[in-house]
Amino acid sequence: MNILAVESSCDETAVAVVRDGRTVLADAVASQADMHAIYGGVVPEIASRKHIEAIVGLSGQALEQAGIGKTDLDAVAVTYAPGLIGAVLVGVNFAKAAAFALELPLVPVHHVRGHIAANYIAHPELEPPFVCLCVSGGNTLIVDVRGYTEMEVMGATRDDAAGECFDKAARVLGIGYPGGAPMDRLAQGGDDRRYDLPRSHVSGAPLDMSFSGLKTAVINLVHNAGQKGEALDLPGLAASFSAAVSDTLVPRTMEAARLRGYGKVAVAGGVAANSRIRADLERACRRSGDKLYLPPLSLCGDNGAMIGCQGYYEYLAGVRAGMDLNAYANRDIGKG
């Protein structure tokens, strides 16, 4: 079964062709990161316009790369939530038009479910159930993946996403956008105990998280140093920041894994590329005996392949959408 998959939830336009859920025939991506870097973050209106400019050409590129024609497609899958509403609408409307014109079923896919599914591409042996830490610029969740389409949130951030905090910290340090990669590079060799940064605890919800206090602490630290004319140990600050994020994510993920007892832990999303978090999870899983599944860096960020993979399992579960499919800025992962 060949699925044309469309992803446009933020600042990457992506169109992929995926066969039977786990074989990627093509994955064409047009990134806007350089364009938004001058603003220090994604400008929604610009992102939406650039999706419009790129999406038709990318679909043709994906089909050519896959070596198939439009008549060889069996379904169209698309991210319909969550994300920047204007950006998501571009992908949804393109997918509806493609499905209508080709007389193919239309399959709506939740963006975070897609990130989880990236692990199925990277690890063909992986099957539910497992616990998955989903960390990106817009989402931070610990998910009980009971089945390919049956999921429940066990813990989540109460405010900022972990990836957003990396971006804001990198911005105040003046090291570029997106912030994840430059912060990771800067942290290499830094003393992760150089600065005492906060770790959140949510009363009555041990698996929930908060990152706004950490973000504010870094911003205040940088501003206070600037006002006093004091030099900061930037590698030490980046390492201390990365440690604080990891110390918030990893213990909660391992506690969720202990509670479920599946023996399998996966990670998904752009922040899954962070070397400190990956290393801490590897150590924690060695201690606990859980099998850890990490996506390659190429599948951590937004891509169409992950939407095609999850779209296949949604299709098998009977999930379909009509021409009235809408886009949503926020959507519970349990709703698909």
Q: What is the pLDDT of residues 64-102, one digit of tens each?
A: 999 999 999 999 999 999 999 999 999 999 999 999 999
Q: Smallest Cα–Cα separation from 243: which of 289, 193, 290, 209?
A: 193
Domains, the chain, ordered by start: 2-115+299-335 (3.30.420.40), 128-298 (3.30.420.40)
* pLDDT value at residue 126: 97
CB 59 within 8 A of CB 98: yes
* pLDDT value at residue 11: 86
* Whether this model's pTM surpasses 0.85: yes
Amino acid identity, residue 325?
L
Confidence label for 310 from pLDDT (cuts 50, 70 and 90): very high
Amino acid identity, residue 45?
E
CB 25 within 8 A of CB 66: yes
* pLDDT value at residue 335: 67
Amino acid identity, residue 19?
R
Burial 226-248 (b: 16+ CB within 10 A, else e): eeeeeeeebbbbbbbbbbbbbbb
pLDDT digits (tens, 9 = 90+) for 135-171: 998 899 999 999 999 999 999 999 999 999 999 999 8
